[in-house]
Amino acid sequence: MAARKRCLPAANGAPDVPPPPARKQQIRAGGERHVAALILARGGSKGIQLKNIKTLAGVPLLNWVLRAAGDSGVFHSVWVSTDHDEIEKVAKSWGAKVHRRSPEVSRDSSTSLETIQEFVRQNPEVDVICNIQATSPCLHPFHVKEALEMITQQDYDSVFSVVRRHQFRWQEVKKESGELTKPLNLDPANRPRRQDWNGELCENGSIYFTTRERIMKDGLLQGGKVGYYEMLPEYSVDIDVDIDWPVAEQRVLRYGYFGRVTPEVVSLMFCNVSGCLTEGRIFLSVSGDEMVSINTRDTAGIRMLQKEEVEVMLLMSSEDPVTQKLVDQLSKRTGCKVLQVGEEPLNDLKVIVEQRKLEWKDVAYMGNDKADVNCLNLAGLSAVPGNAPTVAINAAKYTCHAAGGMGSVREFAEHILLQREKAKSKMEQDRIDCSKK
């Protein structure tokens, strides 16, 4: 799983030689250079409208890289550069600082370099910049750490991420000139087998580390002593147009970074009935009987979890006008214990978690409103239906596509089981790797 790190010749073609001691003058008097992450997120995306905050696998696209950057622990500051109010709001809700870019660098013709240069001019304390692409949602903290070490420990000026491709390339045919196509990286009479060819290194657009000096003095993202950081293909995901979105979503669900928690140990799930298992409405008959509608996809999702020995408890708010008869029916239909909780569900549920000798990282929680925020934040895995209010969406680790009562519980159940499958595969791979040592 380890990525390869290599050096490239200097930008001017000179031999790659160790830098002179004078380079150390970049370090501040305090002894440590300020390292900043900068995610460029302009509001005027042409391919996909407001792409940077569109929900991907339950999370706004921008927040996949914000989570990885924050959890890497290597940045003194994490920034989002934008010209759009909604993007700024999402960025701040996830703890990022905001560089409000000027109109001069917010045009369709503006380059990333121009925006980064403006950011560096406005933030003189920054010495090392990591430009992270918001459209690379499979970035993990270890990618960032290992690439930065090439700057801080090996004296590279610039480091960027690549992926190895085994693709034969041909020159484009210009029909109007009658030109014939010709190969660019192979001899057709001697086509190599994949296993006999190292392939080519292609930028995957995930991360670009560079120093203030290279940005401001040379006007380059890749200048001076340049190194590349090789990422595995499964982590090299980019999104440009609509057709990329569903493919990226499946890749992220399997290879994305979901935080520091260990979801494979989730053994207990709390789920709100109102707004999650049901659509939040109670029907009254002429005779005064109360009724709710429950989607069979959701009850099937609950059974899927129970089959994998995940206990599911249903929560009813003390504010809900539900009769004991209805509670009994819910318990009978789902096979779950139904608990009544107060205005702050955490006060009631922390006792249950302690009684079972669990930690909150071992718990999944599905809620749908402001009262659920504390539990959504604490739980190892948490989710809200797609129609939940913003305050709940911002606290959850996963936002379902489906609305409450329309299959969102089933969707979250599948997400939980997928994370368990991922964790088991990783544990198996770790055992194999250890046995080889």
Q: By the 8 A CB rule, do 129 and 117 touch?
A: no
Helices (H) and strands (E) in the chain, counts: 12, 18
Please give the torsion angle defined by the CA atoms of residues 358, 362, 364 and 369, in that order, rounded to the nearest 10 degrees.
70
β-pairing, 59-60 vs 55-56, is: antiparallel
Measured between alpha carbons, how far is 64 from 136 in angstroms, rounded to an integer?
A: 8
Q: What are the residues whose beta carbons fall under 8 Å from the beta carbon of 241, sequence distance 6 or more?
A: 47, 48
Measured between alpha carbons, how far is 301 from 412 in angstroms, rounded to an integer?
A: 8
The neighbour count for residue 155, using CB atoms within 10 Å, is: 14
| CA R_g for the chain | 26
Q: What angle do CA 246, 247, 253 make, to 5 degrees?
A: 90
**Secondary structure class of 261 (helix, strand, coil):** coil
**Amino acid symbol at 16:** D
Q: Name the H helices within 195-344.
A: 212-213, 244-255, 296-307, 324-334
Measured between alpha carbons, how far is 270 from 293 in angstroms, rounded to an integer?
A: 19
For residue 378, which phi and psi values (nearest 5 degrees)? -80, -35
Which residue in 191, 260, 333, 431 is the catalytic one? 191
The beta strands (E) that lie in 222-356 are given as 226-230, 268-272, 283-284, 290-291, 311-317, 337-341
Measured between alpha carbons, how far is 19 from 64 in angstroms, rounded to an integer?
A: 35
Decide if 191 is catalytic: yes
Measured between alpha carbons, how far is 365 from 148 in angstroms, rounded to an integer?
A: 35
Measured between alpha carbons, how far is 397 from 377 in angstroms, rounded to an integer?
A: 8
The neighbour count for residue 193, using CB atoms within 10 Å, is: 7
**Amino acid symbol at 361:** K
Q: What count of residues does the chain have?
A: 437
Catalytic residues: 191
